[in-house]
Amino acid sequence: MVRGSGGSKKAIYAALFGNLGIAISKLIAALFTGSISMWAETYHSFSDAFNQVLLLVGIRTSKKQVSEKHLLGYGKEQFLWSFIVATLIFGISGVLSLEQGIGSFMGNDFHRLNDLSINYIILAISFVFEANVL
């Protein structure tokens, strides 16, 4: 059985809701501005939120009771889900961000920064969510 997972679950739930709030605010900014970097940040924040869900799955499945098929239990399954989360962080958000960047360079629609105020607003919103998670 996994010890101390109550505090871990609470931290993961806090991070999940914080990342969802950040992701939604970045999505709104990306839709509003069309900024490639904001789209990349949106992908990153949504993948962070999805990773929190996978960590919760890992905690839940690691608490299953010993069975005839799994004589040593499921305690180590939490580490498997943590590994999958680490892989997805680089896989999903990295590949999608790279795709956006390459598409921007290969295309002829150059992105010019006209108004940075929306970026500062998103930075402030992200700070509030991250401070709440902390």
pLDDT tens-place string over residues 89-108: 777 767 777 777 787 777 76
- Classified as helix, coil or strand, 32 is helix
- Return the structure tokens found at 51: 């990773």
Does this model's pTM top 0.75? My answer is no
Q: Residue 109 — φ and ψ, nearest 5°?
A: -90, 95
Residues 45-67: pLDDT tens digits? 888 888 888 888 888 877 777 77
- Return the structure tokens found at 96: 């999608």
